[in-house]
């Protein structure tokens, strides 16, 4: 039985292809049902996120299963067959395990160390189990992946430090402002970056948000999405006296807020500190604003330096995570090798046991006067001889299987003991 991973990710496909290959929960369930209805697929699971769509299979016939899985992914998503052919990857057995282990440990993520992927891997496994599509192969694979993911996050600092401008902005706010929930966030601009940063602050507890934009209708639209209120950029002056955090992200070609604009309202602030984060290029905020008392000003370069430092730190931690994955894959390979050897070892022991029982029956037929103690002694001695004789062949076959040389040993063992003739 082989394990197969087939799919595409941010490493092989641009977003316009990845979005066509996204599987909804209902589509994933329908696809799994189709796959497991095939004689070539015994187990199936589907993992679909914004950065990857992958199918995991157990199959006695990998080429046939891979063809069926490719067709199923095309049938249950919007990705064309020719596009999938160019973007897909196919991995088997230990390579498939190594891939899923790296995925669950966020070593294969677009944002190294991101935390959402483990829950997504667990969801994929639970869906397969709910559909009775996960058996011994995929259960072992996904359980191991989640254990590796947890170990990497526990034993390394791969998830430490924000690695996006919006998340760094939130970190700065949490470090500078004592009570985010009771603070007022003023946002200049209503574009994608402004929205991402505002949403990140709201997720961390910011409840009072004011959005100011040159087009007031756009300000109101963003304010509704984040649970705040909108104002015109021209009317932002009085809001400066109330704001604790100011996020500037407009597309203006020159500063929209000068030192004297803010200085005018400082006397109304009662010495409350104020954090200003300018994520625009060109800058929205006059750099001289940072010289005012109680004001902390950061621009996009400040944030990018923090992001780069954090990314470099995560890369260093990722090297430690890769060692954990390598060790876990070796254990997985050993488990699979033992599965490969197990039927032959079981057949050998069953044959040996039949011979032992036949010889005991022959002895019992000749000797009528055996006591119960005699029978127990003969039973124990004969069983001991059998176990002693089979111990070394069993161990050597298992070792050979784990090293990758097991096929020749297994075939020799089956031939020498005529195991195939017994079915």
- ∠ CA 101-103-105, nearest 5°, is 70
List every span in the chain annotated with CATH 3.40.50.720.
Answer: 165-293
What pLDDT, on a 0 to 100 scale, did the predictor assign at position 397? 73
**pLDDT greater than 70 at residue 368:** no
Residues 263-292, mean pLDDT to the nearest whole number: 90
Q: Is the dihedral of CA 62, 63, 65, 66 positive or negative?
A: positive
| Residue 295 to residue 30: CA distance in whole angstroms | 56
**pLDDT greater than 90 at residue 395:** no
Task: Name the nearest CA neighbour of 348 among 422, 421, 419.
Answer: 419
What pLDDT, on a 0 to 100 scale, did the predictor assign at position 408? 67
Q: What is the pLDDT of residues 65-112, one digit of tens each?
A: 999 999 999 999 999 999 999 999 999 999 999 999 999 999 998 878
What pLDDT, on a 0 to 100 scale, did the predictor assign at position 423? 47
| Residue 39 to residue 42: CA distance in whole angstroms | 7
List the structure tokens of 410: 């297994």
Q: Report the CATH number of the 2-155 domain.
A: 3.30.460.30
Q: What is the pLDDT of residues 114-131, one digit of tens each?
A: 888 999 999 999 999 999
What pLDDT, on a 0 to 100 scale, did the predictor assign at position 250? 93
Q: What is the pLDDT of residues 310-350, one digit of tens each?
A: 888 888 899 999 999 999 998 888 777 766 667 777 788 88
Give the C-alpha distances (Å, rounded to integers) separating 322 from 95, 117, 158, 363.
14, 17, 11, 60
- Going by pLDDT thresholds of 50, 70 and 90, the confidence category of residue 141 is very high
Would you please indicate which residues are annotated as catalytic (active-site) residues? 50
User: Do β-strands 274-278 and 295-299 pair in parallel, antiparallel, or remain unpaired?
Assistant: parallel
What pLDDT, on a 0 to 100 scale, did the predictor assign at position 101? 97
Q: Which CATH superfamily is domain 165-293 in?
A: NAD(P)-binding Rossmann-like Domain (3.40.50.720)
| Residue 172 to residue 164: CA distance in whole angstroms | 12
Residues 233 and 215 sit within 8 Å (Cβ to Cβ): no
DSSP 362-378: HHHHH-S---HHHHHHH
CB atoms within 10 A of CB 296: 16
| Residue 101 to residue 213: CA distance in whole angstroms | 45
The mean pLDDT of the chain is 89
What pLDDT, on a 0 to 100 scale, did the predictor assign at position 114? 83
Of residues 164 and 157, more confidence is placed in 157
Residues 10-33, mean pLDDT to the nearest whole number: 93
**pLDDT greater than 80 at residue 415:** no
List every span in the chain annotated with CATH 3.30.460.30.
Answer: 2-155
330: enclosing H helix or E strand: helix 300-366
pTM: 0.65
Residue 41 backbone phi and psi in degrees, to 5: -125, 120
3-class state of residue 132 by DSSP: coil
Residue 134 backbone phi and psi in degrees, to 5: -110, 120
Residues 234-249, mean pLDDT to the nearest whole number: 93
What pLDDT, on a 0 to 100 scale, did the predictor assign at position 62? 94
Q: What is the pLDDT of residues 354-365, one digit of tens each?
A: 888 888 888 776
């Amino acid at each position: 039985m082989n394990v197969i991973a087939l799919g595409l990710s941010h490493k092989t496909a641009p977003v316009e292809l990845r979005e066509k290959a996204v599987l909804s929960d209902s589509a994933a369930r329908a696809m799994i049902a189709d796959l497991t209805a095939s004689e070539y697929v015994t187990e199936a699971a589907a993992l679909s996120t914004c950065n990857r769509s992958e199918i995991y299979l157990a199959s006695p016939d990998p080429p046939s299963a891979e063809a069926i899985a490719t067709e199923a992914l095309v049938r249950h998503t919007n990705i064309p067959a020719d596009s999938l052919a160019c973007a897909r990857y196919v991995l088997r057995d230990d390579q498939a395990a190594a891939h899923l282990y790296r995925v669950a440990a966020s070593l294969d993520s677009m944002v190294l160390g991101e935390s959402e992927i483990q829950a997504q891997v667990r969801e994929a496994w639970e869906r397969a189990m709910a559909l009775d599509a996960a058996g011994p192969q995929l259960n072992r694979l996904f359980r191991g992946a989640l254990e590796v993911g947890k170990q990497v996050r526990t034993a390394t600092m791969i998830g430490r430090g924000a690695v996006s401008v919006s998340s760094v902005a939130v970190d700065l706010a949490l470090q500078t402002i004592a009570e985010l929930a009771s603070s007022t966030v003023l946002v200049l601009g209503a574009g994608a970056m402004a929205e991402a940063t505002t949403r990140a602050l709201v997720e961390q507890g910011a409840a009072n948000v004011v959005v100011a934009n040159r087009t007031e209708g756009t300000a109101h639209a963003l304010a509704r999405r984040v649970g705040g209120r909108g104002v015109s950029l021209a009317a932002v002056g009085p809001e400066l006296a109330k704001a604790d955090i100011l996020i500037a992200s407009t597309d203006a070609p020159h500063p929209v807020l000068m030192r004297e604009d803010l200085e005018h309202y400082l006397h109304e602030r009662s010495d409350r500190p104020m954090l200003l984060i300018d994520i625009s290029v060109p800058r929205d905020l006059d750099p001289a604003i940072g010289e005012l008392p109680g004001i902390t000003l950061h621009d996009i370069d400040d944030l990018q330096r923090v992001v780069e430092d954090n990314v470099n730190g995560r890369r260093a931690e990722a090297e430690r995570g890769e060692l954990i994955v390598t060790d876990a894959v070796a254990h997985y390979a050993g488990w699979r090798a033992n599965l490969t050897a197990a039927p032959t070892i079981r057949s050998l022991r069953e044959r040996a046991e039949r011979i032992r029982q036949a010889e005991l029956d022959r002895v019992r037929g000749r000797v009528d006067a055996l006591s119960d103690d005699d029978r127990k002694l003969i039973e124990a001695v004969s069983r001991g001889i059998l176990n002693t004789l089979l111990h070394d062949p069993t161990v050597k076959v298992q070792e050979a299987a784990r090293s990758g040389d097991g096929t020749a040993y297994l075939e020799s063992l089956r031939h020498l003991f005529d195991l195939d003739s017994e079915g």
